[in-house]
Amino acid sequence: MSAAIPMHWIAVGSLEDIPPLGGRYVETDKGQIALLRNETDEVFAVENRCPHRGGPLSEGYVSGRIVFCPLHNWQIDLTKGEALPPDVGCVKTYPVKIESGQIFLSLTDTK
């Protein structure tokens, strides 16, 4: 049985910094991370690079728990980071939490 890896959280802005049904990105030690907000104010964090042609996912349209890549409309599941069929590919996802309207991101490798 392995011990849980503690998460280190970094503040990356407020919920109001991210447009509803859209996103923005932050520069991190792991590269650009897209922060995406859906219609119920859930926030997701994924690599800011579509697995197809590298499109900036932070510029995509968010619906539910899916982001549509702005270049070729690929759909990426924001909970798993996987492209929806018939497309194939994935992006890394990162844990996010919101406390008092502030967004915190963890870059801790949990695998």
The CA distance from 14 to 64, in Å, is 20
Determine if the pTM surpasses 0.75.
Answer: yes
- In the chain, what are the domains? 14-106 (2.102.10.10)
Residue bearing the bigger pLDDT, 110 or 65:
65
**What pLDDT digit, counting tens, does each position of 2-53 carry?**
556 667 999 999 999 999 999 999 999 999 999 999 999 999 999 999 998 8
The CA distance from 91 to 44, in Å, is 12
Q: Check residue 53 and give its pLDDT.
A: 83
Q: Smallest Cα–Cα separation from 68: which of 93, 38, 96, 43?
A: 38
The CA distance from 90 to 39, in Å, is 23
